[in-house]
């Protein structure tokens, strides 16, 4: 690695993922402070900036638990073009975190079991 992977706003990766989920639920108008509570744990986070020489990926898995007793495990791999040299590949990996999290959220909310958490 040529440097650290740092999400926007100086957040930790887990705080970044949590904020992204909350922001999406607010945009969809299904977020409520007084509604069903969903908590989550990152069960896997892995990345590579040199998969297949000039590609990279983020593997992120989360375990979500609802206050209604239901749970859901979601795993997602987001692949991206990285680059041949270290600086380009590492920068591409850092830049790919945000779309990787968005892809994870898409995989989560499109999962047929997601509605049962609400």
pLDDT tens digit string along 42-81? 999 999 998 887 899 999 999 999 999 999 999 999 999 9
10-117: CATH architecture: 2-Layer Sandwich (3.30)
pTM of the complete model: 0.90
> Tokens 């977020």 identify what position?
31
Confidence of residue 84 (pLDDT cuts 50, 70, 90): confident
Dist. CA 91–CA 83, nearest whole Å: 9
Listed residue (118, 90, 107, 85) closest to 17, CA to CA: 107
CA angle 36, 37, 40 (to 5 degrees): 140
- Sequence-distant (≥ 6) Cβ neighbours of residue 116 within 8 angstroms: 66, 68, 70, 72
The structural domains of the chain, with segments of one domain joined by +, span: 10-117
């Amino acid at each position: 690695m040529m440097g650290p992977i740092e999400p926007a706003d100086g957040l930790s990766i887990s705080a970044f993922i949590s904020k992204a989920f909350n922001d999406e639920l607010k945009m969809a108008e299904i977020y409520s402070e007084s509604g069903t509570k969903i908590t989550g744990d990152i069960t896997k986070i892995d990345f590579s900036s040199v998969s297949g020489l000039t590609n990279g990926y983020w593997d992120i898995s989360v375990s979500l638990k609802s206050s209604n007793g239901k749970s859901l495990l979601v795993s997602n791999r987001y692949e991206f073009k990285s680059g041949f040299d270290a600086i380009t590949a590492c920068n591409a990996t850092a830049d790919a975190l945000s779309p990787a999290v968005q892809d994870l959220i898409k995989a989560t909310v499109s999962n047929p079991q997601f509605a049962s958490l609400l």
